[in-house]
Structure 1
Amino acid sequence: MENQRNLIWAVVLMGVILIGWNAGLHYFYPQPVRPVVAASTSPNSATPVADAAPAKPTREGGLQAPADMALEARDLKQELASPNRVAIDAPGLKGSINLAGGLVDDLLLARHRESIAKDSAPVRLFSPAGTPAQHFAQIGWVGENGVQAPTADTLWQADGRKLTPQTPVTLSWSNPTGQTFTIRYAIDDNYLITATQGVRNAGAAAITVKPFALVKRTEKTASIDTWTLHSGPLGAFDGTVSFATNYKDVAATGQVSPAGAPNWIGFTDIYWLSALIPDGKIKAQGDYRALGDGLFRADLVWPSVSVAPGQTAGQSVRLFAGAKENAVLEAYEKQGVTNLSLSIDWGWFRWFEKPIFWLLDSLFRSVKNFGLAIILLTLIVRGMMFPVAQRQFKSMAAMKAIQPKMKVIQERYKDDKETQQREIMALYKQEGVNPLAGCLPIFLQIPVFFALYKVLVLTIEMRHQPFILWIKDLSAPDPLHILNLFGLLPFDPPGFLGIGVLAIALGTTMWLQFKLQPAAMDPAQQQVMAIMPWMMMFVMAPFAAGLLIYWITSNLLTIGQQRYLYARHPQLKAQAAKDQQNIDRSVARDIKTKGPAKSPKR
């Protein structure tokens, strides 16, 4: 009865886990994405107000409502047709600068596509003000004491028609009182735009202006924000990068002013980042503001500058707008951008995750396939733990060999659990067996498994990486599901019912692995262990295909090691069979002469 009760509780708990996992799955592994149309906001300042709840985001973000997508396409066509634009043509970024306001509001990421389709368009990061996916940067000044400074409606003049890494472009505008404002834009091969601000005073009196730079965006296109994956306001202040601030925090208070001098400030999605980087010569104030209607702004504001007649004042600010490619971010760090690579939300275990990423990326550069790189990574990890695994398997084999003796103790003291446990511990000591030795390799693999999970989920390098056959994206779940006959039926199974080929392979290899392990003493435990592989099949089915490939490969290597051990030590099985014969005779003799063992009186 006790065993049956334990089994019932185990089955109930497994059912709760499966249902709860399906309900909260997006908190652990965000679901497949829709095509990205990334964010932006209107250049007009507004009074901070609380926002309405946004539509449920996806892992990459982007517009979700069909009406918004259609409106965005129409607005983009109209906005980008304007002749008042300077083209941007660089290896990393394509797009244009809007001469109305001098805004950087049209940016495409040339190295990244919206989907795995061959004809997919580049990812759009910036969109003009007023469009549903608005997201842009503005560099400017606030005039003080009546000084007329350029605004978001100012039409600038450009000294060139195309911004490239070889050809910077300077925008200029003069007010009626003799002041000329300039912005010189330069771009590199990746995702960094440098804006050098200047103001020349040809008037009769000194003027005072306050320089600023800002990034505006809509929350409507934000990617999912969870406890393992941050999306929202992000910056480095006095060298410290904190992921604690999200859009709700800013919307609730209207303004958040992090402590410390900003090294950089902006907004992040899981894969993308738009951030302003002050030059550091003059300390700026960094703030996040909520503007209402789901619009947010990251500001850099410098102290007021007085410019005497005939004098010129200026400074520079850099704009990072692109994909969070680890190598690119680290290269910018070497150029003086403090901790920009920490914009990737590695979490508490960065010290372990980054080496795993480095090894995986190095293997990929050698074999040119991330699926093969994951398999090689598994081989390396298992090879490093081979001595520990051998000790584990020897302990498991020894446990299997003493199972008959343990069974006798269980039968003899089945009504006296305390004596049963004492006798079993004495048997362990006599045979030199450590029942916990088999857990060590599992504990050692947990950090590797979690590190690979983080690498697959948050690194842009893993995005849209194919393996073989039907696996076109290792960072996404297995696309072939059994219940819809691998896509032949026109529906997608809900939640954890989306069991794919990789999930079945995972459950099968885990079942084979458990079959080679010594059986548990408790019959209820045996039944739980029999169910476990198939429960894990359901739990892991929605995870990244690359993660399942790692686990399947690890299971196959474990099975191979187990068979290797048993082939090397056939005496363990022979000894177990001999012990079983001796114990059977001993039990029969005891029963014949003494009768069944009874528990002591209390």
Structure 2
Amino acid sequence: MKDDHKNFVIFALLAAVILFGWPTIQHWIFPQQNPAPTVVEGGKTKVVPQPGADPAADSPQALRDRQIVLAESPRVQIETPALRGSINLKGARLDDLVLTKYDETVAKNSPPIRLLSPGGAAGGYFAQFGWQGAGVQAPGPNTVWQASGTKLTPTTPVTLTSTSQTGQIFRIELSVDQNYMFGIRQTVANVGTTPVSVTPYALLSRANRSTDADQWAAHVGPVAVANRAANYINWKDIESTPEQLATTGGWVGYSDHYWLTALVPDQKVPVQLQHRGTAAQAYQADYQLAQPLSLAPGKKVTYSSRFFAGAKEVKLLEHYEDDAGIVQFDRAIDWGWFGVIEQPIFYYLDWLFRLVGNFGVAIILLTLTIRALLFPIAQKQFASMASMRAIQPKMKALQERHKDDKQRQQQEIMKLYKQEKVNPLAGCLPMLLQIPIMFALYKVLLLTIEMRHQPFVAWIRDLSAPDPLTPLNLFGLLDFAPPSFLAIGVVPILLGVSMFFQMRLNPAPMDEMQKQIFSIMPWMLMFMMAPFAVGLQVYWITSNVVTILQQQWLYSKHPALKEPVKKEAKVK
């Protein structure tokens, strides 16, 4: 009775630590989950506004203010299959850009994602290109440039021109591809009578931090690649001390959860990358050449660079890295420690999705593939469990014989393992292998934009977000949304049920404390997994169902596992 009471106290403390400490652990270890794009209220699925994608997107007043600002200066329109916006001829700024392929929400009439906004409007965010120099009056932020055309498209580049009073002609030739990459050619022609020294630069100005959360496992904020190393920088760090990086090859910019802006200098010319900020949370990323360019009378010089403004599509980033030679451009996605697992999972999952057309089905097929690969290990696990089951009576007898000498008890048990050729850790291997796979899949679902707003069935409109349907409001019949920490969705409940039936098939442990832990574990996991992506829960449910079928078959091969444990046997 004393031991039973002690075990119960330990079990209760362990359960309390897991239930109440899990939110803190989850927030520290795992990236914050994407918010659910819908809720189910009054029996209907309602779209949840997602202002985080653009702080001013859902505000008519903000949109009206932006339109006023846009009308204050002459502009060149931008129109591509992926982008729409305009170039501000005052200051030669790219400050008006929306991503036409991506919407704010899953609603049919949702506005597209706005990435760039002009200074003076809500969410000011723009790129600017120019020169600094000695003996030259370079165009400034108030200079109004002359444009060679009225619209920038993939087939119609535009050249901006400005002539200085010191005798130099400045040109910026702008081009854009079918996706999100702008080509920038900055040219200075010295038509004066004296030599000048010029340094081309580019800057990104951002009036506010991103509304996406920056976490240790999913970086959001300033980013730079210098000397073939990715630097994920905290907002707060650059508010007090600028981050300066000298490099040849690399880039500098800002990474949101799904979106990226990046200044890409000539990859073969030494430059100084820089991030800086203010206490008022205004930020600037920029670069300039390490050495100025000397320009004699009658000569001209051209400097070529790029500017990326768009979605962090995995294959597109890798295309720019491989074909355009942009050093480590794929590091815009913070894969982290498990990148070696995450990227193959992404490619295989993406291939399955393109094959079947439904992302939920693709996750199920991925699960079946993983379980098939792990099946030989599962067979060894069951053989090990059968062996452990067979020696349980001998172990119990040893524990009773040496209950007052724990050290001797452990020595005798280890000796028994060696005699019977049993490895007690072999049964843990499949679970240990599943942990990095599940974490990798979790990050793939969370980080990659290819998974964003992908529906599955019925009410599940986004597999990268939690399940919005919960019995706490009678599955949406009551017109209210419960707090997130209580909103246990239907899919997490199915996960708990599948885990319950799976654990019922396992041999009952002899230790009472273990029995108690195993009996409540499915329902604890149900609460713990509820805030996670539905896609991850679909993976786990499918894995549990496969495990149940697999166990039924393996039990037929190892019937000893179903036999009740015999009472203590005498140990010689």
Match of 1:310 among 285, 290, 298: 298
2:31 equivalent to 1:29: yes
Provide the secondary structure at the position in 1 that maps to 2:194.
coil
**Paired position in structure 2 for 1:76:** 66
**How far apart are residue 439 of structure 1 and its match?**
0.4
2:456 equivalent to 1:454: no
Structure of larger gyration radius: 1
Distance 1:564 1:529 in 2: 22
Distance 2:410 2:168 in 1: 90
2:272 equivalent to 1:285: yes
Provide the secondary structure at the position in 2 that maps to 1:152.
coil
After superposition, give the CA deviation of every residue in 1:361-407 in whole Å (9 maximum; x if it has no partner): 11112112221111111111110111110121233244445556666
Distance 1:415 1:304 in 2: 81
Distance 1:103 1:572 in 2: 71
Provide the secondary structure at the position in 2 that maps to 1:385.
helix
**Paired position in structure 1 for 2:384:** 395
| Conserved 8 A contact 2:31-2:216 | no
2:286 equivalent to 1:296: no
**Paired position in structure 2 for 1:266:** 253
Name the CA shift for 1:207/1:425 in 2 (closer, same or farther; >3 Å).
closer
Name the CA shift for 1:421/1:60 in 2 (closer, same or farther; >3 Å).
farther
Moved more, 327-336 or 201-210: 201-210
| Conserved 8 A contact 2:210-2:221 | no
Name the CA shift for 1:326/1:210 in 2 (closer, same or farther; >3 Å).
same
| Conserved 8 A contact 2:104-2:111 | yes
Match of 1:246 among 219, 234, 239: 234
Moved more, 390-399 or 220-229: 390-399
Structure 1 unpaired stretches of 5+: 36-57, 588-596, 598-602
| Conserved 8 A contact 2:115-2:310 | yes
**How far apart are residue 413 of structure 1 and its match?**
7.1
- Give the alignment of 1:6-25 within 5 angstroms: 6-23=7-24, 25=26
**How far apart are residue 327 of structure 1 and its match?**
0.5
| Conserved 8 A contact 1:205-1:309 | yes
After superposition, give the CA deviation of every residue in 1:253-288 in whole Å (9 maximum; x if it has no partner): 2x1112433511111112111111111343221111
Provide the TM-score with structure 1 as the length reference: 0.86
**How far apart are residue 304 of structure 1 and its match?**
2.5
Distance 1:213 1:83 in 2: 21
**Paired position in structure 2 for 1:353:** 342
**Paired position in structure 2 for 1:40:** none
Q: CA RMSD in A?
A: 2.8
**How far apart are residue 103 of structure 1 and its match?**
0.3
Provide the TM-score with structure 2 as the length reference: 0.90
Provide the secondary structure at the position in 2 that maps to 1:373.
helix
**Paired position in structure 1 for 2:3:** 2
After superposition, give the CA deviation of every residue in 1:499-524 in whole Å (9 maximum; x if it has no partner): 11111111111111111112222201
Distance 2:429 2:50 in 1: 34
- Give the alignment of 1:203-602 within 5 angstroms: 203-243=192-232, 245-253=233-241, 255-302=242-289, 303-334=291-322, 335-400=324-389, 403=392, 432-570=421-559, 573=562, 576=563, 580=566, 583=567
Name the CA shift for 1:309/1:166 in 2 (closer, same or farther; >3 Å).
same
Distance 1:348 1:59 in 2: 30
| Conserved 8 A contact 1:30-1:59 | no
Distance 1:376 1:63 in 2: 35
2:114 equivalent to 1:124: yes
Distance 1:419 1:306 in 2: 83
Given residue 256 of structure 1, which amino acid in structure 2 is its aligned partner? E
Given residue 494 of structure 1, which amino acid in structure 2 is its aligned partner? P
Distance 1:356 1:32 in 2: 20
Distance 1:281 1:355 in 2: 31
Moved more, 480-489 or 372-381: 480-489
2:110 equivalent to 1:110: no
Provide the secondary structure at the position in 2 that maps to 1:257.
strand
Name the CA shift for 1:514/1:177 in 2 (closer, same or farther; >3 Å).
same
| Conserved 8 A contact 1:85-1:98 | yes
After superposition, give the CA deviation of every residue in 1:539-571 in whole Å (9 maximum; x if it has no partner): 111011111111111111111111011234446
Distance 1:394 1:340 in 2: 47
Distance 1:34 1:281 in 2: 44
**How many correspondences in the alignment?**
556
Distance 1:497 1:206 in 2: 71
**How far apart are residue 205 of structure 1 and its match?**
2.6
Provide the secondary structure at the position in 1 that maps to 2:320.
helix
**How far apart are residue 23 of structure 1 and its match?**
4.6
Given residue 85 of structure 1, which amino acid in structure 2 is its aligned partner? R
| Conserved 8 A contact 2:224-2:231 | yes
Structure 2 unpaired stretches of 5+: 38-48
User: In percent, how many aligned pairs have the same letter?
Assistant: 51
Name the CA shift for 1:454/1:473 in 2 (closer, same or farther; >3 Å).
same
Distance 1:15 1:572 in 2: 32
